[in-house]
Structure 1
Amino acid sequence: MEHKYTYLVNGLSTTVRSGTLAAPEVQTAIAFSAPPEFYGQPGQWTPEHLFVASVASCFISTFSGMADYSKLEFRSLSLEVEGVIEKDEGGWRFTRVVVRPRLKIAHAQDGERANRLLQKAEKACLVARSLACPVALEQAVETLG
């Protein structure tokens, strides 16, 4: 296995405070704008949403890989990720990210293991590990049936 990977994203802007993002190996480009709070267009993906979305997608990918490896059967994983930005002496920055996974499992005896895997996923998610702000985990596991 490699010890280094590189990911390339290309950005293009032809209007004020908005543009598109594309990656050579990805079929769909993403349109974005600055958030309305910073005079961008409402209803668009923003860099702030994409930042928080990267934590969400990384957590889901990390957890599902760990669950597969550990043979944990789960019905669904939904989550909400909240990013908080605040202005300090250096300007605006993310000061906190909260990950709220909701895991549905089939068997009650898997509850403890499911909780451990959620905690491991939060620690192993490379995006969350790369952030300068704290990441909090507020998890819930529900048994179905």
Structure 2
Amino acid sequence: MSQTHFYEVNIKWKDGRTGELSSPVLNKTIECATPPEFPNGVPGVWSPEHLFVAAINSCYMATFLAIASNFKVEIENFSCKTIARLEMVEGKYLITQAEMFPVIKLINPGTDMDKAMRVAEKAKAGCLVTNSMKTEITLTPEIA
């Protein structure tokens, strides 16, 4: 299997500050727009900022589940809330920090608690999305 992959995403402007994201290999489109905090922003629509945070969350989950499987840690439930900080730095907007709050419920908490904590840290270290960003990522896992 090749170690190089390509992912194509297209956007088509609809009107105002709204566009539609698509990919030739996916069935669904996603409407996106400038967030409402900015001039002419659109409330209730995915923004680039939300998609940035969604990339962190989805990659972390996929990485966590893969590593948990390798470590034979059985997961009953997984969720993760991530809160990102957008701020002006030297005249440019940057997402400077993202704080992740995964909640992991184990099938065997008595035997897998320590392994699950190691898996949570390994997933943070191995997440390709966060490894590709200059955003500071913090992790506060809750394992039950």
The match for 1:126 is 128
- Give the corresponding residue for 2:24: 24
Alignment-mate amino acid for residue 21 of structure 1: L
Aligned-pair identity in percent equals 34
Is residue 2:86 matched to residue 1:117? no
Q: Which amino acid aligns with 2:86?
A: I
Aligned partner of 1:16: which letter?
G
Moved more, 22-31 or 60-69: 60-69
Partner SS, residue 37 of structure 2: helix
1:52 alignment counterpart: 53
Q: Secondary structure at the match of 1:82?
A: strand
TM-score (norm. length: structure 2): 0.95
Alignment of 1:64-79 (within 5 A): 64-79=65-80
- Give 5+ residue unaligned stretches, structure 1: none
After superposing the two structures, state which structure 1 stretch, 111-120 or 39-48, moved more: 39-48
Query: Structure 2: which amino acid aligns with 1:43?
Result: G
Cα distance in 2 for residues equivalent to 1:124 and 1:83: 19
User: Which residue pairs with 2:107 in the alignment?
Assistant: 106
Measure how far apart 1:92 and its partner are: 0.7
Distance 1:14 1:133 in 2: 30
Deviation at 1:14, TM superposition (A): 2.9
SS at match of 1:56: helix
Report the secondary structure of 1:55's partner residue: helix
Tell me, which stretches of 5 or more residues in structure 2 are unaligned?
none
Cα distance in 2 for partners of 1:10, 1:106 equals 40
Q: Confirm whether residue 42 of structure 1 aligns to residue 13 of structure 2.
A: no
Aligned length: 142
Contact preservation (8 Å) 2:10, 2:23: yes
Greater Cα shift, 19-28 or 100-109? 100-109
| Of 18-27 and 86-95, the range deviating more from structure 2 | 86-95
RMSD value over aligned CA atoms? 0.9
Equivalent AA in structure 2 for residue 48 of structure 1: E
Cα distance in 2 for residues equivalent to 1:44 and 1:13 = 14
User: What is the CA–CA distance in structure 2 between the aligned matches of 1:90 and 1:80, rounded to whole Å?
Assistant: 29
1:88 maps to amino acid: V
1-structure distance, mates of 2:72, 2:135? 32
Would you say the 8 A contact 2:83–2:100 is kept in 1? Answer: yes
